[in-house]
Amino acid sequence: MARDHVRGHVHGPTRAPPRGVRTGGIPATVVVVTGVAGAGKSTVALLLAHRLGWAYQDADDFHTPVNRARMAAGEALTDEDRRPWLAAVAAWIGRRIAAREPVVIACSALKRAYRDQLAGGRPEVRLVHLHGSRQLIRSRLVARHGHFFPAQLLDSQFADLQEPEPDERACVVDVDRPPEAVVAAIVAQLSAVPTEEPHMPPTASGEQWRLRHGAHEAVVVELGGALRHYAVDGRPLLDGFAAGERITGGRGQLLVPWPNRVAGGSYRFGGEELRLPLTEPENGNAIHGLLRWVPWRLQARGEDAVTVGTTLFPQPGYPYRLEVAAAYRLGPEGLDTTVTTTNVGDAAAPYGVGQHPYLTVGTDLVDTALLTVPARHRLRTDEHGLPTGEEPVEGTAYDFRTARPIGEEHLDTAYTGLDRDPAGHCTVRLAHPSGRHGIDVRLVEGIRYVQVYTGDTLSEHGRRRRGVAIEPMSCPADAFRSGTALTVLQPGDSHVFRWGLAPWGSW
């Protein structure tokens, strides 16, 4: 398997530009050059990297020696054979994005599913597809010597090939011309994609970045990288906030580097006693992290996706340095959110993450909405909102494993023991009383707890019980003190937190 490095640096080591800056005029961090064997991926990708001053990598390096030998012997690989290879390439791309190292990588990625694994939900990645006729490609393979991929496997390549679809935003370039001309055409197409699309004017929450995909629309804001709005066919699915309003109640906010509370703001880590500012003074706690009230930078943007990020610098109570990026992407099934955090400091750092959306299914109050939380346990808490223990939900008022109305229950409850599907995902559902439509909160990666809050203690009385906060969390309240499900990020380590909103039914 390939080593975690970038090979083929041009003109010496390439220094990555700051986040959000166009590199070589290209609004991306990673360009994946795809196509069948013989299309010239390696040649074109290497020339493109040279043109941009980026690094170059060949995805073939990630194949195991066994798979390379099988292909050299004329044996076509199956999807099962390719699965670990694709996973290794996707993980490598993620590390390059986190490290802010622009790179061009040559990778066949013939099927849509393969490309989705490499680029899906990653606005930093652009696809370039090299197109050529079967006759042209065959003539090139026959003339090629010393490569492990034989010409007789070309038919299997074209059998697997699925041309990029419009929503993949791939640059498609014909290869019936010299490689230098192909590269020039690629650069022209990539550079034509604007990085600064028209946007809404600054407001109480800063810049507003609107995303659209079909009937889906979402708005992400500069302040805290929060999710302000999500609607389908004009029907709000978030009890969010207006562009001119202050953010209250944690609406849509990202909770980094801890979700929920730290008792007394004090904890011990790495042999050191640390004390955080008390941001919930009425309960004597530090609450919801350190990045809710700082501006986040625009890193990448498309019509249906945006990535924002910020740096958490060492400060009193948290002397660690993290780079955080939140990628929001709309698709036909809903909104996907991926938060990637990398420890760029020189010491291990305690870490947790969550997000705080309030959902609505169109009811005046949440009482009649149907809630499903597939969790076997909940955390008991004291009067300060801090965990005192864990108990089964079976036989209690907190058992929502089967859909039922919320009723008059006052929920501010963390659930764990989540039931997951074969892919390891868990789905929390809020449905309209009719049962005909609703919205699913999909807990995909890096999530072990989910907090459900009916808003009974909000300072704005008119907002109480208008929406249900369903908050994915990597760890529970007070994890900095208890260590429960706490992530320890070693220098260079990254953590991925992924969840999504999926509306369903007839509205």
> Residue 80's closest CA among 69, 94, 67?
67
The pLDDT assigned to 209 comes to 94
Mean pLDDT of 171-197: 75
- Of residues 80 and 355, more confidence is placed in 355
User: How many angstroms separate the CA atoms of 91 and 83, rounded?
Assistant: 12
Quickly state the pLDDT bin for 153 (edges 50, 70, 90): low
Task: Please determine, for residue 428, whether its predicted confidence score (pLDDT) is greater than 50.
Answer: yes
What is the structure's pLDDT at 132?
A: 81
Least confident of 16-25, 189-198, 268-277, 476-485: 16-25
On whether the CB atoms of residues 224 and 334 are closer than 8 A, the answer is no
Residue entry with tokens 């008991």:
380
Residue 238's pLDDT band (cuts 50, 70, 90): very high
Name the residue with higher pLDDT: 74 or 35: 35
pLDDT for residue 70: 77
**Percentage above 70 pLDDT, the chain:** 88
- Among 457, 400, 395, which Cα is nearest to 430's? 400
Residue 40 pLDDT grade (very low, low, confident, very high; cuts 50, 70, 90): confident
Higher per-residue confidence, 131 vs 341? 341
DSSP assignment of 76-91 equals PPPHHHHHHHHHHHHH
More confident residue, 101 or 368: 368
Q: What angle do CA 344, 345, 346 make, to 5 degrees?
A: 130
pLDDT of residue 166: 73
Is residue 73 over pLDDT 70?
no
Give the pLDDT confidence score for residue 440 in this predicted structure.
Answer: 98
Whether this model's pTM surpasses 0.75:
no
Q: Taking residues 296-302, report their average pLDDT.
A: 91
Q: Is the pLDDT of residue 499 over 90?
A: yes
In the predicted structure, residue 46 carries a pLDDT above the cut 80: yes
For residue 115, give the 3-state DSSP assignment.
helix
Spatial distance between the Cα atoms of 287 and 261, rounded to a whole number of angstroms:
4
Whole-number Å distance between alpha carbons of 417 and 318: 30
Q: What is the pLDDT of residues 5-16, one digit of tens each?
A: 343 433 333 334
Backbone φ and ψ of 355, nearest 5°: -145, 155
Question: What pLDDT score was predicted for residue 181?
Answer: 86
